[in-house]
Structure 1
Amino acid sequence: MSSSEEHSYEVNIAWKEGRIGTMDSPALDDKLDVATPPEFPGGVDGVWSPEHLFTASVSSCFLTSFTAVAEYSKFEFEDLKINSSGKMSRDENGKFVMSEVTIKATLTISDEAKEKKAYRLLEKAEEICLITRSIKADVIVVPVVKVEVAA
């Protein structure tokens, strides 16, 4: 990791057709089509939208924040599943904004004695997520800890 206090992430988008573009990054191998969501005129079904990517940015930051906190705390877990939804609504000026992201984080552990710590680490992940700290939308985390003891 760089010791610099600033980091840069390059993304390129090229218009493909209609309301669809293709996104890539010099740092990544994959390309991704992006389009206006189908809820808007000219929107496209079945293609990632900026609204999906916004929601994905918040929830993937939560995931990476949690895994970093767990690693630092030497906390072992069996699985982490995140289901998230982003809400678009109109603000006080009548403009559409991404107003809320709800993250349901289901963490599976094998030791019931570590359940309380599991919840603390999920809470810590929410606190340190830099994307959450960078946006105006409300972020609601619904933590669920499941204990599954191997037989």
Structure 2
Amino acid sequence: MAIEQIQPLYTAVATAENGRDGRVASDDGHLDVVVNPPKEMGGSGAGTNPEQLFAAGYSACFQSAMGVVARQQKLDIKGSTVTAKVSIGKLSNGSFGLAVELVAAVPSLDEAATKDLLEKAHEVCPYSNATRGNIEVTLSAA
């Protein structure tokens, strides 16, 4: 299967020093964080970690995708939130993998309508498109 090429609208650039036990900074100076492995993985837990950064990006992107779908369907999703839970763990081959749970709370919609919105947003969201077929992503209404 060929990978479809995008026409970039924006390119984010970040550089890591010392991997999971160091620092990550963006080229524009807006992001500059200390990264440390979580205590559960033998680290100090003193800084953020790549999974938290991924969760932040995915939750923000997915919330925006929900907004796109809501506007198309003329739905009011004011006050909604998306929480991304990113897990890291070992795969059967000994390497590491990720899993994501996206939990959305949409006060103006019932559970069935929220789940429908989540499924449609999952088709639109760039993070969902990037992870589809690569990691387990579950969607649920809060």
TM class by shorter chain equals: 0.7 to 0.9
Q: CA RMSD in A?
A: 2.6
CA distance in 2 between partners of 1:44 and 1:81 (Å): 30
Whether 1:92 aligns to 2:88 is no
Instruction: After superposition, give the CA deviation of every residue in 1:69-104 in whole Å (9 maximum; x if it has no partner).
Output: 112322223311222211212112111211x10111
| 1:36 partner letter | N
User: Secondary structure of the residue that 1:89 maps to in structure 2?
Assistant: strand
Where in structure 2 are there 5+ consecutive unaligned residues? Answer: none
Whether 1:138 aligns to 2:136 is yes
Q: Which has the higher strand share?
A: 1
Task: Decide whether the 8 Å contact of 2:15 with 2:24 is kept in 1.
Answer: yes
Alignment of structure 1 residues 42-53 onto 2, 5 Å: 43-53=43-53
User: Secondary structure of the residue that 2:55 maps to in structure 1?
Assistant: helix
Report the alpha carbon displacement of residue 47 of structure 1 after superposing the two structures with TM. Answer: 1.9
Match of 1:147 in 2: none
Alignment of structure 1 residues 67-86 onto 2, 5 Å: 67-86=67-86
| Structure 2 length-normalised TM | 0.75
Task: Decide whether the 8 Å contact of 1:34 with 1:50 is kept in 2.
Answer: no
Larger Rg: 1
Match of 2:121 among 121, 125, 132: 125
Match of 1:40 in 2: 41
| 2:26 partner letter | D
CA distance in 1 between partners of 2:96 and 2:17 (Å): 23
Where in structure 1 are there 5+ consecutive unaligned residues? Answer: 145-151
| 2:88 partner letter | M
User: Secondary structure of the residue that 1:79 maps to in structure 2?
Assistant: coil
Report the alpha carbon displacement of residue 34 of structure 1 after superposing the two structures with TM. Answer: 4.0
Question: In percent, how many aligned pairs have the same letter?
Answer: 23
Task: Decide whether the 8 Å contact of 1:90 with 1:96 is kept in 2.
Answer: yes
| Structure 1 length-normalised TM | 0.72
